[in-house]
Amino acid sequence: MDSLVIAILLLSTLLLFRTRKAIDAVVIIAVQSAGLAIIALLMWQKTGMVHLLIAAILTIVVKTIVIPYILFYTVKKTEAKRNVERTMGQFGSLFIALMLVVTGQYIASHLSLPGAEHGMRYLSTAIILVFLGTFTIINNKQVLMQGIGVIVIENGLFLLTQAISYGMPLAVELGVFFDLFVAVVIIASLSFRIHSAFHSLNTEKMQDLRG
């Protein structure tokens, strides 16, 4: 089961570099978040730690339902579902993404961290998600896709805490979920404003504001 969830996380994230529509990227984020919830549930089942169960429930509610709904609404209202605008082409983007996967695997294999017994198998996947999320921000011109990159990075950090310490204290996790929710709301608001001003979500058009 663990290997299946890891495969889903990696494959879904790599699909971000092949998808042509932002609406598909929102679906991918929902699937990725559902995978994180399953990991938290599996670790709760193995350890009996209640905060892992709470983290899984919060992940399902906030990351799998609420945030994708906000992003879906934003895509629909701004018509961002047409085409994803990247700095590089699809094949170039996918090639670099695959190189980042290999790099993440290599780094994880050479790290000596005091990890959790049932969590260290997720360490390489967590590092890869952070790398791919960062590349998503760099490689996309649309503010909405850049926001999705931020979510991927946060998912990677969430998985990293699961891998090395069975997650963070409950109060900290609640704060992180709230911060992520606020960040997504801000991203949605910026998307509406940019679209109303430029009829596009391409952040490069904001250079036109310079006098």
Per-residue pLDDT reduced to its tens digit, 150-192? 999 999 988 888 877 776 777 777 777 888 888 888 888 877 7
Distance set, CA 160 to CA 32, 36, 91 (Å):
15, 11, 28
Rounded Cα distance between 20 and 82, Å, is 8
CA 109 to CA 17: how far, in whole Å? 25
> Residue 39 and residue 59: Cα distance in Å, rounded?
11
Residue-wise pLDDT tens digits, 58-86: 899 999 999 999 888 888 877 655 567 77
d(CA 155, CA 181): 13
What the block records as the tokens of 43 is: 């670790």
Give the count of beta carbons closer than 10 Å to the beta carbon of residue 87: 11
Q: How far apart are the first and last CA of the chain?
A: 56
pLDDT of residue 209: 46
Nearest CA-CA partner of 78 in 194, 187, 208: 194
One-letter amino acid identity for 179? D
Cα separation, 134 vs 174, in Å, equals 23
3-state helix, strand, coil in the chain (%, to 5): 80, 0, 20
pTM for the complete prediction? 0.84
